[in-house]
Structure 1
Amino acid sequence: MARIRLSALPPAASGVAGFSLGAAAMLLLPGGLANAVGLLSAGLGLAGSAALVRRNWAAEREQLLAGLGEVKVRLATNAIRLDAMGKRIDQLPMSEVDAAPARAMLNELTAEVGLLGDLLQQVATTLGDHDDQLRLVQDKLAAPPQAPVRAVVAERAPLRAPEPLVAIRQSPAEMAQARALEERVALISEALANGQVEVHLQPMVQLPQRRTRGYEALVRLRLDEKTLLLPEEFMETIEQRGFGPTLDALVLTRALAIARHLGTKEGGLFVSCNFSGATWGSSRALAALARILEKYHAHIGNLVIEMPQRVFRTLEPASLGLLGAMSANGVRFALDHVADLRLDPASLHDRGVRFVKVPASLLLAEARGAAVADIAAGDLAAHLARGAIQLVAEEVEDDPMVADMLDLGVGYGQGDVFSPPRPVRPEVFAEPEAAAPVSAPAPAPLPPAAEIVNYPPPAPAAPPAPTRVPFRDVLRRATA
């Protein structure tokens, strides 16, 4: 006979056994002893059921955590295999056109693996927080009640002078400042909720001709007719409220509308836009923006997405996979907010970077020996050109600085000396009107009949006059 394991019994078995023993005791034992033994058996059965429930819950929780750990290990293994597969594809003797679909698929798979890893990490964190809260509640319930503390009044205690009260309220100036800050935060949140976002464009020109090659979309927030906020005045508030991805989606949609308009012009013009730090740090937000880009795939060729150098160096594998998928679909990137010149053109090109925007002051500081870099400022443009990357000098303020950039071989420039940011015309964001079908010209209307307009009927046409034929022609026909 097989041995019965108590741990394999369901939790309800203990309660049923306790109630059965209690009922049997009440039937067999006499008097009040039967009631006492029955109640005791039922209570023990319920306690055993509760203990089995707790044990089963703990065992299931341990199995869940073990399963989560195993899945995370498998995801990491699959990520390593995908990376190795990408390297093998790079080593295969195939053209870039044939390898692009495979790389795009691998990048998408890498992004999906990263998203699954993030979700598993969130589940494990939630379970840990739940266990901590349960432990705190159990500790409070298990703590012995504290005895009330009796106030002991000393006999003949010496009288002391009353201590001055400490002011715990804020001063009127601090209260007014806090109230003004709250009102400003409310105005910013309301303006963003109402979509009062404006995009101003600053041109990016080619040197030395100063011919416009592209534009940078700079976001502004309109509070009212006279108040227009710059990014440094509202970005911190928006990121604290968690509205960064929402703002980025609005800016990206408008940048794509501008790209659609530029696509109708000649010269290969483009528009660039920036994302907030919250978006770059969230693979979910990047995936949402990637879906917007897929929806407007026809205008991607006229769009460039700018990314800070600090963010580029700290991207997670999931975000890198999404960037790779965007690059394979035709999205170009620009590296901005460059703080040092340690740049690898081959690595940047593989990530889809086609522009590097360096402040003109940093280039001048390195050229004058005030900054330490791995490469001379005069050689940076040629160094990046080997990887098909254009060097852009931004924040160019005056004409002498333009001359310095030309001496350093910089091919593109951006700054107030060329043009300050200007608002976009509303018709740029309007949807293009569908072309009307070309129809055949309508026939000219016939003149009205005489009997309809009460004119006299026209005279009958005269018979045609007989045509005289020379005698030679008649003779030629008769003898033919």
Structure 2
Amino acid sequence: MRKLMLALLTGAYLCLALIVSLFLWRMGATPAVGVSAFIGMLGLCFAFHGLLAQTFLGAALRLDVDTVREAHAILLDQVEKVDGRVTDLMEVVAADAQRRTEALSTEVSHLEDLVHKMNDRLERQLSQMSHPGAAPRGPLTDRAPQGDRLLRMVQEALADNRVDLYLQPIVSLPQRRVVYYESFSRLRDESGRVLMPAEYLSVAEPEGLMSNIDNLLLFRCVQIVRRLAKQDRKVGIFCNISLASLGDEAFFPQFLEFMQENKDLAGAVIFELGQDAFERRGPVEARHMARLASLGFSFSLDKVVDLDVDFQDLARADVRYLKVAAQMMMNELEEQDGKLVIASLPDLNAADFASLTRRYGIEVIVEKVEAEKQVAEILDLDIAYGQGNLFGEPRAIRDAILAEAEPPSDFMRGGARRRAAGW
């Protein structure tokens, strides 16, 4: 466009110079004067053109400079605003870090108190065992030497904090997405051998050691839940609690105080106890369960042996989950008059069992799932959750992993299946 404009202006300048020279020639000037006039007029036009071009160019440059200055001022203003926001963000981050540090210090202080109290209790028990004039203590007097050795192993494991946390995933069906974990405690002896609950429960419960085990397990569950929450992983953890812990008047107030301080985790920590323990609970245990429920915590029943339960009673006790072993559920299914029913509830279609429990706010979880065939039958019953080695076997959460806040990453990996004894 600029070249076309220059060509047109040049043509106009030539025409103007030619007109002037022809005018002088018509007025009687000699050809030399006409040519001189033509050249002079042409030079004058180009000089005038150059002057105008320089004027317009200077104006454009001044406009560009003003634009750059305005942009620079805007940029400086934005930089100042960003600097202010960064300063505010740094203050928020520093305050949040301080808050997290204080919270962590509080948790560590709680753990230290628990460990100290547990050690004092264990030392008193050990001194009573070793004192030659100690009075007989019932179960301990009649215990075989092997039981005494096992008791000492359990006490030493607790005193040395050789209590491991195992987690097993609970998945939604049919998506098989991890929505919960169940926690298990495992003790280790001095050689590192893992003591299963079937081994140590027989000596831990009579000696009142289950409160100590439940305390450590609960604290570690809270740590895991908080670390998962930091990674925006909205999952819950089922934490086993014994009937002895619920009925321990010395243990429970401290337990309740700890849960009061962590009641923001009410939706993520579910306390689990067996069906038999739930049915054997007395007024003290029921009152303590109600105290936990008042903080927003719920309960789960496992080791279910009878599906003909009082669902209203479960709902009143804030039981929100019912765990049924896969094999038991399969054994309960039977055909009557051409329809599939549950043997314990013959008047109810098997496919309506999960709907019945949901009316009372209770979800059924089929546990100990080992085969795909079982999954197909579970889905036919409209059950929403499954647990078992098929979906992921229990994995130990080591101290290093716990300290680094790393959630278990290989729960759902395949591999050699092994059966893990549950609570």
Q: TM-score range by the shorter chain?
A: 0.5 to 0.7
CA drift of 1:193 comes to 1.6
8 Å contact kept, 2:364–2:383: yes
CA drift of 1:377 comes to 3.4
**Counterpart residue identity of residue 220, structure 1:** R
Alignment-derived partner of residue 383 in structure 1: 356
Residue 241 of structure 1 pairs with residue 204 of structure 2: no
8 Å contact kept, 1:256–1:300: no
Q: Distance in 2 between matches of 1:309 and 1:178?
A: 30
Q: Distance in 2 between matches of 1:178 and 1:322?
A: 35
Alignment-derived partner of residue 372 in structure 1: 344
**Counterpart residue identity of residue 287, structure 2:** G
Task: Using the TM superposition, name which of 335-344 and 353-362 deviates more.
Answer: 335-344
Task: Using the TM superposition, name which of 341-350 and 216-225 deviates more.
Answer: 341-350
8 Å contact kept, 1:191–1:222: yes
8 Å contact kept, 1:345–1:386: no
Indicate which of 285, 295, 303 corresponds to 1:337: 303
Alignment map for 1:257-272 (pairs within 5 Å): 257-266=223-232, 268-272=234-238
Q: Give the match's secondary structure for 1:419.
A: coil
Alignment-derived partner of residue 87 in structure 2: none
8 Å contact kept, 2:164–2:398: no
8 Å contact kept, 2:167–2:183: yes
CA drift of 1:284 comes to 4.2
Q: Distance in 1 between matches of 2:150 and 2:309?
A: 41
8 Å contact kept, 1:220–1:231: yes
Indicate which of 264, 284, 292 corresponds to 1:318: 284
Alignment map for 1:22-61 (pairs within 5 Å): none
Deviation sequence 1:172-224 (CA, Å, 0-9, x none): xxxxx955543333222211121110010000000111100010001100113
Alignment-derived partner of residue 69 in structure 2: none
**Counterpart residue identity of residue 241, structure 2:** F
Listed as ranges, the gaps of 5+ residues in structure 1 are 1-176, 433-480
8 Å contact kept, 2:173–2:386: yes
Alignment map for 1:119-134 (pairs within 5 Å): none
Alignment-derived partner of residue 369 in structure 2: 396
**Counterpart residue identity of residue 211, structure 1:** R
Q: TM-score, normalised by structure 1?
A: 0.50
Indicate which of 185, 194, 212 corresponds to 1:228: 194
Identify if the C-alpha distance between structure 1 residues 405 and 299 changes in structure 2 by more than 3 Å, giving closer, same or farther: same
CA drift of 1:322 comes to 2.0
**Counterpart residue identity of residue 298, structure 2:** R
8 Å contact kept, 2:168–2:392: yes
Residue 307 of structure 1 pairs with residue 273 of structure 2: yes
Q: Alpha carbon RMSD of aligned pairs, Å? A: 2.4
Q: Distance in 1 between matches of 2:222 and 2:165?
A: 12
Q: Structure 1 vs Structure 2: percent identity of aligned residues?
A: 32
Alignment map for 1:58-137 (pairs within 5 Å): none
Q: Distance in 2 between matches of 1:266 and 1:210?
A: 19
Alignment-derived partner of residue 107 in structure 2: none
**Counterpart residue identity of residue 379, structure 1:** D
Q: Distance in 2 between matches of 1:267 and 1:196?
A: 28
Q: TM-score, normalised by structure 2?
A: 0.56
Q: Give the match's secondary structure for 1:396.
A: coil
Identify if the C-alpha distance between structure 1 residues 430 and 295 changes in structure 2 by more than 3 Å, giving closer, same or farther: farther
Q: Distance in 2 between matches of 1:357 and 1:426?
A: 29
Q: Distance in 2 between matches of 1:334 and 1:401?
A: 22
Deviation sequence 1:359-418 (CA, Å, 0-9, x none): 112211111368433544322111111222211001111111111111111110000111
Q: Distance in 2 between matches of 1:184 and 1:321?
A: 33
Residue 414 of structure 1 pairs with residue 387 of structure 2: yes
Identify if the C-alpha distance between structure 1 residues 318 and 416 changes in structure 2 by more than 3 Å, giving closer, same or farther: same
Deviation sequence 1:61-111 (CA, Å, 0-9, x none): xxxxxxxxxxxxxxxxxxxxxxxxxxxxxxxxxxxxxxxxxxxxxxxxxxx
Q: Give the match's secondary structure for 1:190.
A: helix
Alignment-derived partner of residue 183 in structure 2: 217
Alignment-derived partner of residue 164 in structure 2: 198
Identify if the C-alpha distance between structure 1 residues 214 and 276 changes in structure 2 by more than 3 Å, giving closer, same or farther: same
Listed as ranges, the gaps of 5+ residues in structure 2 are 1-142, 336-341, 406-423
Alignment-derived partner of residue 164 in structure 1: none
Q: Distance in 2 between matches of 1:225 and 1:377?
A: 49
Q: Give the match's secondary structure for 1:185.
A: helix
Q: Distance in 2 between matches of 1:363 and 1:346?
A: 21
Q: Give the match's secondary structure for 2:230.
A: coil
Deviation sequence 1:140-197 (CA, Å, 0-9, x none): xxxxxxxxxxxxxxxxxxxxxxxxxxxxxxxxxxxxx955543333222211121110
Q: Distance in 2 between matches of 1:431 and 1:299?
A: 20
Identify if the C-alpha distance between structure 1 residues 358 and 283 changes in structure 2 by more than 3 Å, giving closer, same or farther: farther
Identify if the C-alpha distance between structure 1 residues 372 and 348 changes in structure 2 by more than 3 Å, giving closer, same or farther: closer
Indicate which of 216, 219, 239 corresponds to 1:273: 239
Identify if the C-alpha distance between structure 1 residues 231 and 376 changes in structure 2 by more than 3 Å, giving closer, same or farther: farther
Alignment-derived partner of residue 324 in structure 2: 358
Alignment-derived partner of residue 70 in structure 1: none
Alignment-derived partner of residue 348 in structure 1: 314
Normalized per residue, which structure has more strand? 2
Identify if the C-alpha distance between structure 1 residues 329 and 280 changes in structure 2 by more than 3 Å, giving closer, same or farther: closer
**Counterpart residue identity of residue 372, structure 1:** S
